[in-house]
Chain A
Amino acid sequence: DGGITQSPKYLFRKEGQNVTLSCEQNLNHDAMYWYRQDPGQGLRLIYYSQIVNDFQKGDIAEGYSVSREKKESFPLTVTSAQKNPTAFYLCASRRLAGGVDTQYFGPGTRLTVL
């Protein structure tokens, strides 16, 4: 089945460590996105990529980095520079067809910094 997979589902990290969240899609979508969700809030855009080998900062990119070497993959690294990384992270890809614009989301990764 086509879709977006994120791994791991739960991730624990010690302060000062970098950690990489995986996002893979087999939907053949060009555009991919990373969002962060904090309790009681909506989603905030961290990074996005419209094509392979290109990505742009979103609203809260500080302390995060990404790469887009393959169309299917858009990993997010949470660095030690991110001051408050505990949150729920969602990856998405975009489909625009027949005048309907849709973002498909993965199941998310819940990151906890100990």
Chain B
Amino acid sequence: AQKITQTQPGMFVQEKEAVTLDCTYDTSDQSYGLFWYKQPSSGEMIFLIYQGSYDEQNATEGRYSLNFQKARKSANLVISASQLGDSAMYFCAMRDLSGGYQKVTFGIGTKLQVIP
């Protein structure tokens, strides 16, 4: 069974500093995808970044990068130059790509607060 673990219920970061949100996953599958989503207080889930299990390079999207360490089964999100608008819940998720179901499993999230 797939499992996503986010061990940081809440994080604070000073504006303009970088912050790392932790995510570890557990799967026996070889083919999978890893995602990060942002959920502001409005509730909408905003896609941030994707990493495939066979991608050798870490994914980057603007100020977001995914620190993918396959052997450790970790997929940490790094946000550089934090902005006040980054304050939100952040969810790590994984999709199993090897079967027909291809379900996405979500972690319980980390609440990030950016301090002016």
Contacts and interface: CB of A to CB of B under 8 A. Distances in A.
Interface of A: 33, 40-45, 48, 56, 58-59, 88, 90, 92, 99-108, 110
B25 interface: no
The interface size bin for chain B is 20 to 34
Contacts of B109: 41-42
A107 B95 CA distance: 22
Nearest to A45: B103
A99 B104 contact: no
B107 A42 contact: yes
Interface of B: 4, 33, 35, 37, 42-47, 50, 52, 55, 91, 93, 95, 97, 101, 103-104, 106-109
B49 to A, nearest CB: 10
Residue of B45, B97, B101, B107 with highest tally of chain A CB at under 10 A: B45
